Chains A and B, each alone.
Chain A
Amino acid sequence: GAGVSQSPRYKVAKRGQDVALRCDPISGHVSLFWYQQALGQGPEFLTYFQNEAQLDKSGLPSDRFFAERPEGSVSTLKIQRTQQEDSAVYLCASSSTTGGEEKLFFGSGTQLSVL
């Protein structure tokens, strides 16, 4: 497809379960970002990849959160031992270059509900 694709669209997990969220960026895009958006709030930065290198993971809230992009294209955000406070929409975005002027393209997100 032409846009950023995220799967699954919805995920329900029991507290303590591990989850994996997938992001397919636009083909050829160098930069990839993960954001977390709580209900009624703006998106919060989690982590940033430039190709396969994770250059910034300062926004990951705990060591239960892990992201990877091993071949510089598809990325996976993994959350171990999920907690109720992890319930949020997880957004992925990509851009073609690394410049500050460049626009980001966002997916529709994965809505995670932890029961």
Chain B
Amino acid sequence: DAKTTQPNSMESNEEEPVHLPCNHSTISGTDYIHWYRQLPSQGPEYVIHGLTSNVNNRMASLAIAEDRKSSTLILHRATLRDAAVYYCILRDGNAGNMLTFGGGTRLMVKP
């Protein structure tokens, strides 16, 4: 799987939107962009994924750059329960579905 680059940590205030960036300049045409998050003492949890177009679900939105070399996970209103490590992962649609995790971004939410 191609490599992604994320900031080590970010801070947000409760009830405010959060934009978590991810760079993936070596993305290939068959790579899906997946986001997972891991709350303390839990296993990773699926958040959202996309290929080319922006995506929305009940948890978040995913904005994908036109050249697909970067993407942004958007949490519209951060809550204290959103404090977690967020992982941006590229996954080849043709090569099975193993996830290769990087270091992720630790999101801290202040009340």
Residues of A participating in the B interface, judged by any CB pair closer than 8 Å: 4, 31, 33, 35, 41-45, 48, 55-56, 91, 93, 95, 97-109
B99 to chain A, nearest CB (A): 6
Known: A101-B32, A109-B43. A44 touches B93 (CB 8 A): no
* Interface of chain B: mostly helix, strand, loop or mixed: loop
When distances are taken between beta carbons in the complex, the residues of chain A under 8 Å from B96 are: 31, 48, 55-56, 98, 100
When distances are taken between beta carbons in the complex, the residues of chain B under 8 Å from A108 are: 41-43
Is B87 within 8 A of A42, CB to CB? yes
Residues of B participating in the A interface, judged by any CB pair closer than 8 Å: 30, 32, 34, 36, 41-46, 49, 51, 85, 87, 91-104
7 nearest A-B residue pairs (beta carbon)? A106-B43, A100-B93, A42-B101, A103-B46, A43-B101, A106-B44, A91-B43
When distances are taken between beta carbons in the complex, the residues of chain B under 8 Å from A56 are: 96, 98
Is B45 within 8 A of A106, CB to CB? yes
Is A41 within 8 A of B103, CB to CB? yes
Is B44 within 8 A of A103, CB to CB? no
Given A42-B102, A103-B46, 10 other A-B residues pairs in contact with their CB atoms under 8 A? A42-B85, A45-B98, A56-B96, A97-B97, A98-B96, A98-B97, A99-B97, A101-B91, A106-B44, A106-B45
Is A101 within 8 A of B49, CB to CB? yes
Q: In the assembly, what is the distance between CA of A99 and CA of B49, in Å?
A: 13
Is B97 within 8 A of A104, CB to CB? yes
Is A91 within 8 A of B91, CB to CB? no
Is A104 within 8 A of B46, CB to CB? yes
